[in-house]
A and B are shown apart, each in its own frame.
Chain A
Amino acid sequence: MSPKLLTIPAAICLVALSAAAAGAQNPQQDPAERARNIARQLEQNARTLTLYDRQGKVISTIAEKHIFNQPTLSPDAARIALIKPDLEKETVDLWVYDIKTGTGVQITSNKPRENVQAPAWSPDGKYVAYVALRGSRYTIFRKPSDGSGAEETLYAHQGGPIVLTDWSLDGRYLSFYESDLAGSRLYLLPAEGDRTPIEAAKSEKEMLAARLSPDSRLLAYRSNETGRAEIWVRSVPAPGSQAKVDTWQLSTEGGYGMVWWKRDGQELFFFGPDRVVMSVQVKSGPGTFEFSKPRPMFKAPDSIPAQSNPGAFGSVSRDGERIVFSVPPLPPLRQLTVFDRQGKEVGRIGAPGLYVQPTVSPDGTKVAVMRADPQTGANDIWAFDIATGTGTPVTATPDGENAPVWFDNDRVAYVSMRANFASIYRKQWTGQGPEEQLFRYTSGAGMALTDFSPDKRFAMVDGGGIVLAIPLTGTDPLKREAVDFARSEFEAGAGRFSPDGRYVAFGSNDTNRFEVYVRPFDAKTGEAAGEMKWKISNEAGVVGGIVWRSDGRELFYHVNDNAAQELRIMAVDVSTTPEFKASAPRELFRVKGPLPGNPPQWKHITPDGQRFVFAVPRPATSTK
């Protein structure tokens, strides 16, 4: 993922929201199935608009649950502007809800794939301004907050994503920022007259959720310049002034956004560690500023992502007395559960947790898994002994690790994005000893590790719709270069080596639906050997989970049965000598879905093909 996207979290969130809305409809999908999908998406993602006082007492919940995003309180705290998708129409629009009545007024009428984000209220509450992507331009509009009249274009931006953060108390300026590799810039946009943006602050560092104090002398924002997201304040010299810019770091334990000033400028608020809403008292004199230590006000619900995007889930009223959150449902805990070939549950591993992507070790005795910490949201790799259920953290970093694959019976490899580079690392499964970097990918590009060749001479990764083989030659991981194994106009991924290393099974949608294929592997080059390709699957809904049995005689994969909301576990008899042959696929069993995580990645079957490990939402169930 590119830093541009990472540094504009609100924008990416809305892009994701647009994608969700757009993705809810598939013209070729059965209407009943589509309705079920929409209902399921709402059930899993609908958030409760909840109003709190500053002690954290719930004042009220507003309207029926929906996928509310960026709730922003009006100046009188009587209404909420927010972003809401319409899954039927595949659109995302700005709405204004009345807190007392719970009724909503639609402000924008976007087309599919347009988006809108970052609402800001005029000081009198008569207008709401917002950023919308129309055509190829991020444009700031305003419209009466009762939904009447036409929207008025205030400013069409020529560059990348921008985030509108505020409308000054005197009504004269709207403020917005942009942030990219060249740094961050906050602009003031005159609400009337010549609407040429005025650069108000500039930094080479990240400067997100930037909001000016009511007297425009200070700018509060979130930055990662210490290596962790924290809340900062900097002075804003008057236009033309040569005064130096002072900065203050307000938080030291983490600050994740939702930076709001009280109307009198004597208090500011932010979303702190462990979901605590924090308050900072501000004293200002002529040229002097004092900030108190952040004090906790109350803890927001556990279901709000601990390191959520700034402003995505909540806002604070101008008088500092009301806080609104759109509260998502708690993610269900998952139990690592072992099934036999008939789909009978035969064991459970450890306690339930936020697990995805279980990966079984080559000797079948251990399972590595991605685990999200419920308090911090950090993703680490854990390893469990299947027999005893004892879990051990393999990694414990703030960076986040994913895509675990066993290198051998003692070491787990995984991917982590650090300093803008995704790399493959490996480490002892006990978590002890140093971490070893095996490969570094292109700057800013994401990848997923899927396998190692049996002789350990190659790693295999998904590199953005392509399957790459990485020769693990030499001693310098930075000099290792990936080789295309499968690269075309269609997506390919989840490459898995046959146990004899002569073939690779992978998924591709080159027939406009995903299927499992096998191609010969050239161990000299890392490329596919020749043009031979065998299609293994023959049904719609293939989602990956491609695993070879260790004797090379059977191949497994998953198929989604959307109508039944079940995952079908498929098996194919194969032989690789003297040449590749495969039987017709057969269903072994079904597991009740939907299962969270990234199914294409699962390598969750014991080497003898007798045990299947899934991270299933509690209670664990299987059918058949």
Chain B
Amino acid sequence: MIRRLALSVCLAGLLAGSAVAHHNMSALFDFSQRFTTSGTLSKVDWRNPHIYLFVDVKNDKGQVETWSFEGPSPGFFRQRDVGKENFEASMQKSVKIEASRARDGSRSGLIREVTLADGRLVSLCPQNC
């Protein structure tokens, strides 16, 4: 609604404020280091202020490594008619994620796009782009 414009530009985000990035994304993730990976969605943490997806990915040696991917708040998805249930329906199934790589080299990333098991593409822009 109208108030979102004002709320989005004032720091006191308050009740509807999680539309704005919560913590320092560019401190944690390098937006110029984009990568794409596929794996099995093993866990969904669907809470404010950021959701997390955990994906089991096979590395070059065939070993399974668990990666964590961070996304915006659940409210971001609600506004796009995407819910927790859409992600839970992909549990233990293959998903594809395009993300910005973590600056510390850990197995984590900031999601830019995710393709769910049913082929649905969910863009997390402009929040994460």
Residues of B within 8 A of A3 (CB): 24, 26-27
Residues of A within 8 A of B32 (CB): 158-160, 178, 180, 182
Residue from B10, B12, B18, B129 in contact with A133 in the complex, judged by beta carbons closer than 8 Å: B129
Residues of A within 8 A of B123 (CB): 135-136
Contact B14 A493 (CB under 8 A): yes
The distance from the CB of A41 to the nearest CB of chain B, in whole angstroms, is: 5
Residue of A nearest to B9 (CB): A16
Residues of B within 8 A of A402 (CB): 10-12
A465–B113 alpha-carbon span in the complex (Å)? 23
Contact A5 B21 (CB under 8 A): yes
A428–B80 alpha-carbon span in the complex (Å)? 46
Contact B2 A464 (CB under 8 A): no
Which of A290-298, A333-341, A415-423, A566-574 lines the interface with chain B? Answer: A415-423
The distance from the CB of A148 to the nearest CB of chain B, in whole angstroms, is: 29
Q: A56 at interface (Cβ–Cβ under 8 A)? A: no
Contacts of B87-129 to chain A: CB distance below 8 A? 98, 100, 112-113, 123-126, 129
Residues of A within 8 A of B73 (CB): 464-465, 491
Residues of B within 8 A of A181 (CB): 24, 26-27
Residues of B within 8 A of A403 (CB): 12
A417–B11 alpha-carbon span in the complex (Å)? 9
The distance from the CB of B41 to the nearest CB of chain A, in whole angstroms, is: 17
Contact A2 B47 (CB under 8 A): no
A309–B113 alpha-carbon span in the complex (Å)? 29
Which of A168-176, A243-251, A439-447, A612-620 lines the interface with chain B? Answer: A439-447
Q: A75 at interface (Cβ–Cβ under 8 A)? A: no
Residue from B12, B13, B21, B125 in contact with A2 in the complex, judged by beta carbons closer than 8 Å: B21
Contact A446 B20 (CB under 8 A): yes
A2–B23 alpha-carbon span in the complex (Å)? 6
Contact B15 A41 (CB under 8 A): no
Residue from A135, A160, A490 in contact with B31 in the complex, judged by beta carbons closer than 8 Å: A160
The distance from the CB of A16 to the nearest CB of chain B, in whole angstroms, is: 5
Contact B2 A41 (CB under 8 A): yes
Which of A17-25, A46-54, A188-196, A497-505 lines the interface with chain B? Answer: A17-25
The distance from the CB of B29 to the nearest CB of chain A, in whole angstroms, is: 9
Contact A137 B129 (CB under 8 A): yes
Contact B5 A20 (CB under 8 A): yes
- Could you mark each residue 26-44 of chain A with 1 if its beta carbon is under 8 Å from any beta carbon of chain B, else 0? 1000000000010011001
- Could you mark each residue 172-208 of chain A with 1 if its beta carbon is under 8 Å from any beta carbon of chain B, else 0? 0000001011100000000000000000000000000
Residue from A26, A446, A448, A494 in contact with B22 in the complex, judged by beta carbons closer than 8 Å: A446
A213–B42 alpha-carbon span in the complex (Å)? 53
A20–B31 alpha-carbon span in the complex (Å)? 25
A178–B31 alpha-carbon span in the complex (Å)? 11
Contact A465 B1 (CB under 8 A): no
Residues of B within 8 A of A16 (CB): 5, 8-9
Q: B57 at interface (Cβ–Cβ under 8 A)? A: no
Residue of B nearest to A596 (CB): B6
A422–B12 alpha-carbon span in the complex (Å)? 11
Task: Check A463/B49 contact, CB under 8 A, given A1-B21, A444-B24.
Answer: yes
A598–B14 alpha-carbon span in the complex (Å)? 8
- Could you mark each residue 398-419 of chain A with 1 if its beta carbon is under 8 Å from any beta carbon of chain B, else 0? 0010110000000000010100
Q: A544 at interface (Cβ–Cβ under 8 A)? A: yes
Contact B48 A19 (CB under 8 A): no
Residues of B within 8 A of A133 (CB): 125-126, 129
Task: Check A5/B20 contact, CB under 8 A, given A160-B26, A489-B74, A490-B74.
Answer: yes
Residue from B10, B18, B31 in contact with A159 in the complex, judged by beta carbons closer than 8 Å: B31
Q: A601 at interface (Cβ–Cβ under 8 A)? A: yes
**Chain B CB within 10 A, most for which of A19, A26, A442, A492:** A19
Residues of A within 8 A of B3 (CB): 23
Task: Check A445/B22 contact, CB under 8 A, given A160-B31, A402-B12, A488-B48.
Answer: yes
Residues of B within 8 A of A445 (CB): 22-24, 49
A44–B5 alpha-carbon span in the complex (Å)? 12
**Chain A CB within 10 A, most for which of B9, B24, B123:** B24
Contacts of A532-564 to chain B: CB distance below 8 A? 543-544
Contact B15 A180 (CB under 8 A): no
Task: Check A493/B11 contact, CB under 8 A, given A2-B26, A23-B1.
Answer: no
Task: Check A509/B31 contact, CB under 8 A, given A20-B4, A181-B26.
Answer: no
The distance from the CB of A295 to the nearest CB of chain B, in whole angstroms, is: 32
Residues of A within 8 A of B43 (CB): none
The distance from the CB of B47 to the nearest CB of chain A, in whole angstroms, is: 6
A20–B19 alpha-carbon span in the complex (Å)? 12
A619–B18 alpha-carbon span in the complex (Å)? 34
Residues of B within 8 A of A446 (CB): 11-13, 17, 20, 22
A80–B7 alpha-carbon span in the complex (Å)? 29
A137–B4 alpha-carbon span in the complex (Å)? 24
A487–B4 alpha-carbon span in the complex (Å)? 21
Residue of A nearest to B4 (CB): A23
A466–B49 alpha-carbon span in the complex (Å)? 7
Contact B48 A182 (CB under 8 A): no
The distance from the CB of A479 to the nearest CB of chain B, in whole angstroms, is: 19
A160–B30 alpha-carbon span in the complex (Å)? 9
**Chain A CB within 10 A, most for which of B12, B27, B79:** B12
Q: B25 at interface (Cβ–Cβ under 8 A)? A: yes
Residues of A within 8 A of B30 (CB): 182
A530–B16 alpha-carbon span in the complex (Å)? 26
Contact B129 A160 (CB under 8 A): yes
Residues of B within 8 A of A2 (CB): 21, 23-27
Residues of B within 8 A of A462 (CB): 12-15, 17
Q: A265 at interface (Cβ–Cβ under 8 A)? A: no
Q: A4 at interface (Cβ–Cβ under 8 A)? A: yes
Contact B14 A466 (CB under 8 A): no
Residues in B lying within 8 Å of A, measured CB to CB: 1-27, 30-32, 34, 46-49, 51, 73-75, 79-80, 84, 98, 100, 112-113, 123-126, 129
Residues in A lying within 8 Å of B, measured CB to CB: 1-5, 11-12, 15-20, 22-24, 26, 37, 40-41, 44-45, 113, 115, 133, 135-138, 158-161, 178, 180-182, 400, 402-403, 415, 417, 420, 422, 442-446, 448, 462-466, 487-494, 507, 509, 514, 543-544, 596, 598, 600-601
Pairs across A and B, CB under 8 Å, 8 listed: A1-B11, A136-B98, A442-B22, A442-B23, A445-B22, A463-B49, A465-B73, A489-B47
Q: Could you list 12 further interchain pairs (A-B, Cβ under 8 angstroms) beyond the known A4-B31, A466-B49, A489-B74?
A: A2-B23, A2-B27, A16-B9, A23-B1, A24-B1, A136-B98, A136-B125, A158-B34, A160-B31, A489-B48, A514-B15, A598-B14
The 9 closest A-B pairs by CB, nearest first: A444-B24, A160-B31, A464-B49, A465-B18, A465-B48, A4-B26, A159-B32, A20-B5, A489-B74
